[in-house]
Structures are given as structure tokens and as C-alpha cells.
Structure 1
Amino acid sequence: MAAGPQTLPESALKEKLDALDSIPLFMKSLPEDDSENTTLAALQSLAHEGTPDENAQNFKEQGNDYFKGKRWREALGFYTQGIDAKPTDPVLQEALLCNRAACNLELQNYGSVLRDCSKALSLNPKSSKAFYRSAVALAALERYEEAIDCCTRCLGYDATNASVQTVLERAKKLKGDKDKKEQERQERIRKEKEAQVRLNGMFQERNIIVVPNPNGSQNPYSPHLDPEDPTQSSLIIPVFFLYPQYATSDVIPEFVEDTPFSAHLEIMFPPKAESPQWDAKGEYVDGKLVIYTMTRRKRLLKVGKKMSLRDVCNAAKAKDGEPKDGLELKDGCLTFVVLPKGDVEKKWVEDYKKSRDG
């Protein structure tokens, strides 16, 4: 009894297909280099022995076969050989250019698509395929106005072309979406600029001096208007609390300027709570702490517990007749030093004054 068809393993199937490529009649394309294979040489010369138009037509038909099989690269190669055959028939030239553009469209080589379509349109200004493929490529490149222009030109003489109409509708929608996003972006930039101008004015009113960071801001927080203030006249500013005794710090990301410092110390260092891990001696307890800050001109200001951030900003103002002074806003933050009252405080103040005056 005869055996039925046998399924080959994938590796064996690939080996057999590769072997077919070495047989001239089954080759995907003709090699350009010299070959000792007499059969191949005969076929190769046969492919070029007709007129340029006949040779180009032959390559076009081979390209069409591969294109139908969705083998875009092989089809592209044959269309290129057809173009290189230099046919004289403008209709054939246009077809080869448009077909190669179709391959490049599938391969997402949009620049090549536009170049071939431009050449096709120079041969035939009413080439619907060239306009269509140009429009698709331009839309893929987000050049929507140009895509719309291509479609409009084509529909001017080919009004019922459904493919071009579809591309036109899609390009218009995409352009509308892009324009809307751009408008939203511009509006956001405008509002950000307005907000920054207003912030700068409020900084000046509060004697806050912005120190730009040459490396860009590393702070995820930034000063802003208090959204709960209907008058839009109150600032929220990030604040650093430094503990130089232990070379550590805390950040208060949103310090409302009218809030007293005592409100934060009560929460951070309650008397009956466990001390922070870094507080080796258990000295950081509300009621036993003092706060200092330094101005641009190195003045040392002692901050009363009941003072608000706004109060300290006012205290940082230079006296009449003296150079401008105020608190420095570095990397979007104001900085304050928190110390235990007593010897630690006294030593730190002395060291600061020595470094300032030295």
C-alpha cells in the first residue's frame, strides 16, 4: 500500500526550499556577479536580451507575482531592476515607480515612497496611485497638511476614488487631534509663564531671592499658589529643616506661608513620642528646640516658634539704605536650621559667625 503525503519537519522544509534557490528556474532574483553556471548565464542574458521596455515589463510582472505573495522585499528588487532597465514607455515607468512605492509603503520606508511618487507624478500629474501612496506616507510621518493637499489634488480629477477619500478623512481627523493637542500645549505653556511671572512678583514682595541651579532643579517639589486660597495671594513653599549636629535633614514639601513653625515642630517632634532614629541623645523634642535661618547677606535670623514663614520673609528684608537682602530659594526650597537649645545651639551659632566673618 502506497504511503500518503508526509509532513516534513520545519528544518528539512527550509533546507529543501534553500536548495531550490540554487536552481536557476526557481531563483527569487538573478545575481549580478559572474557565474560559471551556463544555464544561469543563459537565463540571465535572456532576461536582458529584449528591448528596455520588454525587459522592464518582464521584471514588473515578476515583481507583481512576489507582491501578491506579500514578499515585499523581493518584489521591490524586481521593480528596481525594471526601473534600471530604463524603459521608454512613460506608462510603464509610472507603474514601476508606483509599484516600488507600494513595496516601500509596506516596509515603512516613507522617504523612498515620497521620492518614487514624486517621479511618477512628474511623468503623469494625474497619477492617482502616486497621490494616494504619497498621502499615506505623509500621514504616517504626521505631515497631515501635505497629506490632505495630496488627497485634495487627486480628488479634483478623480472624485470617486474611495481609497483617497478614506485617507483624506483619516488625515483630517489626525490633523484635528494634533492641532488640539498643540493648542492645549500652547495654552499650558501660556498659563505656566503667567504663573511664573506672578510667582516672581510674589517672591520679590516677600524678599525671597531665587538662586538658579546651573544643573537644573533636582527637587520634585516647587513653590506654588495655595489652591485653597480664593484670593490667590498665599504661597506654598518647600522647606528644608537641617539638623547639622547629625548631618541630616527633613523636607516639608508644602509649607503654607501663613502657618507658624510651631505647627510643624509639634507634629515632627511631639514630647511623648519616640525620638527619630538619628537623634542619638533624644534632644529633638518640641519645646526644647530653636530655629535659625540665614539671609543672602549672611545675616543670622532666629525664628520664633509663633512666627510664620511670611513673618520670617518680612524679617529678612534689608534695612533702608542697605543693599538688597532676603531669604535664598535654592533648588526651589527655603532652608532652616533646627537645633536643641543650649550648648549645641551656642556652639553652632559661634561656628557660623566665625565662618561668616572669617
Structure 2
Amino acid sequence: MSEEFISEWDRRRYIPKPGEPELPPQLSELADKSSDEVIEELNRLPFFMTKLDDTDGQGGENTNIEALKSLVYEGEPHEIAGNFKNQGNDCYKSKQYKNAIEYYNKGLEVDCDDDQINLSLFLNRAACNLELKNYRRCIEDCKKALQIDPKNVKACYRSGKALFLVERYDEAKEVIKYGLSIDEGNAALKQLAGDVDKKVQAIAKAKEMKDKEKQERLLKQTLLANAVKLRHIKIIKSSKPAALLEDAKLRLEDDKDYESQLIFPAMILYPTIDEFDFIAEIGELTTPFEILSMLLERPKEWFEDPKHKNFNIKSLNCFMETESGGLIKVGKKVAINKALMSDTPKAPLFDNGLRLYVVPEEDVKSWISTWSKETALSKRC
């Protein structure tokens, strides 16, 4: 180290005189503070600041910060607005969209008379709102931008994009068309136009399919209603249907042919032992014999129960309830639809399902003696 440099250092070096502190006045107040406290002190100085500190460390005002804030509003209106625009742009580049909007807001609040700066502020705020999915705000900003510059393609694109995303497709197409009339080769607008067209076509196709499905559904319902009417089948709806029949559906085996077989669920009731079976679907041409043959394919243990001792096909009798609340006996080898289609007496379907009572021969007389039309009719209410 040169003697010239050493002498300069010695000249500037702080050497305490008798009665003076060992450290320079600028550092003496930090001597008794921890490193964290020193860093906190430095953070209140704008040059060293890593986080905003609006206080002086004692709950008062940080005059350094306030001085910097005041500088923001120094200059001509267009300079102040331009400064806010630049700060907003910096935030936008780092994807701090909410912060950027705040700066653009402040720039517009200045109300400068520079159209180009105001145009940029509206356009840039629109871009932020688009990123934040504030689509309606984006549209409003673009409208204001277009009032300043009616041929601004960026405003057309951003408003078109926002309109597209809020499903205002006709308006989106209009603003995109207008933008392309200004710049017919604009790639972004052309791409957006294609996206809108695809979406509109997809919606139209979905609507067409939905309408077609609705028409087919109505046709099937009409065919089913006609099939029931032509067969003279009566359907009675109960106010409180059995839980298993709440969603019961009557349908045609071929839903496009009213002459095809009717399909419906069946409740097989054993009133003398207070049991029942449920069959999800049977055809109208099914006989009680076929139903019982299927249901009586049970484990040996079921028949060993004393209450089931007379449950075999030969000894069982089948009945259906009539519209007036009475009973009719149904032949076991006769198709169910014969009883359903007969006009006198009329045996209906209940809640779109068959209701078939099955009683052992030896219990028929006593069971019928307990049957009450009034009770049967009251259960339908």
C-alpha cells in the first residue's frame, strides 16, 4: 500500500480525543444494539430498505418515506401519469396484476390530457383485468380505450376475448370482425375468431342433439301412452307409493313400436304371512305360473319354515285388486295382460307396477273374508 494512500487514510480515520466517544457520532448510538436491531434501523433508510416501514421506529412518521412519496406527484400531470404507468408495467411484467391495476388507477386519477398515456393506462388495466378474470371490467376499459382510439386493435382483441369468456358470443364476433376490418392479418384476432366460431358451432350442435333427444323422448312417451290406451289398461297412482315403486317405469320392449310387449315391475304380496317379493321387470305376456316358478326357486330351508309349508305352485292362488277395491282371481296359466285389458271387472296397475296377491288354497276363504274395499281404497289416498 502506498505511503500516500496510508497518509490519506490516517488523515480521515476517526481518532477520539480526550473525553470523546470511542466510535464516531454516526455509529456510537448503534454500539449497544444487536445485529437485528441495526438491520431494523437500516431498513428505515430508503437506500437499504428491503421492506416498507412507514414509521420512525417509535410509532411516528418516517420522514424519508414521506419525502419519497411526495416526489411521485411532482412534475406535470402527464409526467406523473406516465410514471404510474411505468410502475404498473413493471408489476405487470412480474405478474403482479393487482398491484399493476393500483398503479394504473392512480395514473388515471391524475386526469392528464395526454391521450396516448390515458390510452395505455386503459389498455394495460384491461390486460390485467383479463388475467384476473375480471372480464366485465376488462370490457369497460377497452370501451374507454376505443373512445380515445377507435382503431386500436389491442382493445378489440382484449374486449373480444373477455366477451368470449363471458359467453357473449354475438358481441365477441362483432368486435373481432371490427378489429379485423382494421388489421385483416392480425394473427391473434384470427385465432380468437376461430375459437369463437368453434364454440358457437359446438353449442349449436349440442342444442340440436338436445332438441333431437327431446323429440325422441316425446315420441316414445306418445307411443307408450297410445300403447296403454289401446290395451285399455288402467293405471292408478297412489299418494304414497311403496318405496320400491317410487321410481317405477312402465316401458315398451321396443320403445318405437307400440305393439311390442309392455314391461313393468311387479309386487308379489303374500298377505297371510306378511311377506312380499319384488321383481324389477316382467312382460305383460308373463303368466302367474311363470312368476311363481321363478320365485319359488328358493333354498330348502325356506320351505322348512312352518309358515311356508303350503307354498307350492299347485296349492297357491293368485288375485288382483280391482279399480273399485274388490278382488278377482287370476288364472295361473293366463297372461297377466288378459286381466289388465279386461274392462269388467277392471284390474289396474298401481304406480306403474303389477300388484299380485298370492295365497295358499286353504287360506283363501278366511283371507277374502277379511278383505275390505273401503280399506283398499283408503290406502290409495
Amino acid at match of 2:320: T
Q: How much does 1:347 deviate?
A: 4.1
Aligned to 1:105: 130
205, 208, 214: which one aligns with 2:234: 208
Look up the SS of the partner of 2:67 in the other structure: helix
Look up the SS of the partner of 1:187 in the other structure: helix
**Aligned: 1:301 with 2:328:** yes
Aligned to 1:77: 102
218, 224, 236: which one aligns with 2:251: 224
Q: Confirm or deny: 8 A CA contact 1:63 1:76 kept in the other structure.
A: yes
Amino acid at match of 2:167: E
Q: Distance in 1 between matches of 2:42 and 2:248?
A: 67
Post-superposition CA distance 1:312-340 (Å, at most 9, x none): 2113x356xxxxx651441x433333333
Aligned to 1:281: 307
Q: Distance in 2 between matches of 1:23 and 1:218?
A: 80
Amino acid at match of 2:284: E
345, 348, 359: which one aligns with 1:327: 348
Structure 1 residues 94 and 289: alpha-carbon distance in aligned structure 2, compared to 1, 3 A threshold: farther
Aligned to 1:13: none
Look up the SS of the partner of 1:301 in the other structure: strand
Q: How much does 1:57 deviate?
A: 1.7
Structure 1 residues 260 and 104: alpha-carbon distance in aligned structure 2, compared to 1, 3 A threshold: same
Post-superposition CA distance 1:151-176 (Å, at most 9, x none): 11211111111011111111111211
**Aligned: 1:144 with 2:169:** yes
Structure 1 residues 21 and 55: alpha-carbon distance in aligned structure 2, compared to 1, 3 A threshold: farther
Q: Distance in 2 between matches of 1:21 and 1:248?
A: 85
Q: Pairwise mapping of residues 11-50 of structure 1 onto structure 2 (< 5 A)?
A: 36-50=61-75
Q: Distance in 2 between matches of 1:21 and 1:54?
A: 29
Look up the SS of the partner of 1:227 in the other structure: coil
Q: Distance in 1 between matches of 2:278 and 2:148?
A: 70
Q: Distance in 1 between matches of 2:104 and 2:185?
A: 29
Q: Distance in 2 between matches of 1:22 and 1:261?
A: 95
Root-mean-square deviation (CA, aligned residues, Å) is 3.7
Aligned to 2:28: none
Aligned to 1:3: none
Structure 1 residues 198 and 227: alpha-carbon distance in aligned structure 2, compared to 1, 3 A threshold: closer
Q: Confirm or deny: 8 A CA contact 2:135 2:162 kept in the other structure.
A: yes
Q: Distance in 2 between matches of 1:128 and 1:230?
A: 59
73, 77, 80: which one aligns with 1:55: 80
Q: Distance in 2 between matches of 1:107 and 1:98?
A: 14
Q: Confirm or deny: 8 A CA contact 1:57 1:82 kept in the other structure.
A: yes
Amino acid at match of 1:305: K
Amino acid at match of 2:264: I
Q: Confirm or deny: 8 A CA contact 1:241 1:338 kept in the other structure.
A: yes
Q: How much does 1:356 deviate?
A: 4.6
Q: Confirm or deny: 8 A CA contact 2:226 2:258 kept in the other structure.
A: no
Q: Distance in 2 between matches of 1:222 and 1:71?
A: 58
Structure 2 spans left out of the alignment, 5+ residues: 1-39, 55-59
Structure 1 residues 113 and 197: alpha-carbon distance in aligned structure 2, compared to 1, 3 A threshold: same
Aligned to 1:11: none
Q: Confirm or deny: 8 A CA contact 1:199 1:224 kept in the other structure.
A: yes
305, 308, 318: which one aligns with 1:291: 318
Q: Confirm or deny: 8 A CA contact 1:296 1:328 kept in the other structure.
A: no
Q: How much does 1:217 deviate?
A: 10
Q: Confirm or deny: 8 A CA contact 1:29 1:78 kept in the other structure.
A: no
Aligned to 1:263: 290
Normalising by structure 2, we get a TM-score of: 0.73
Structure 1 residues 129 and 21: alpha-carbon distance in aligned structure 2, compared to 1, 3 A threshold: farther
Q: Which has the larger radius of gyration?
A: 2
Amino acid at match of 2:340: C
185, 198, 216: which one aligns with 1:191: 216
Normalising by structure 1, we get a TM-score of: 0.78
Q: Confirm or deny: 8 A CA contact 1:226 1:232 kept in the other structure.
A: no
Amino acid at match of 2:317: V
Q: How much does 1:184 deviate?
A: 0.4
Aligned to 2:358: 338
Look up the SS of the partner of 2:190 in the other structure: helix
Look up the SS of the partner of 2:61 in the other structure: coil
Look up the SS of the partner of 2:182 in the other structure: coil
How many equivalent pairs are there?
Answer: 330
**Aligned: 1:350 with 2:369:** yes
Q: Confirm or deny: 8 A CA contact 1:295 1:328 kept in the other structure.
A: no
Q: Pairwise mapping of residues 117-156 of structure 1 onto structure 2 (< 5 A)?
A: 117-156=142-181
Q: Distance in 2 between matches of 1:21 and 1:184?
A: 66
Q: Distance in 1 between matches of 2:88 and 2:192?
A: 26
Q: Confirm or deny: 8 A CA contact 1:290 1:341 kept in the other structure.
A: yes
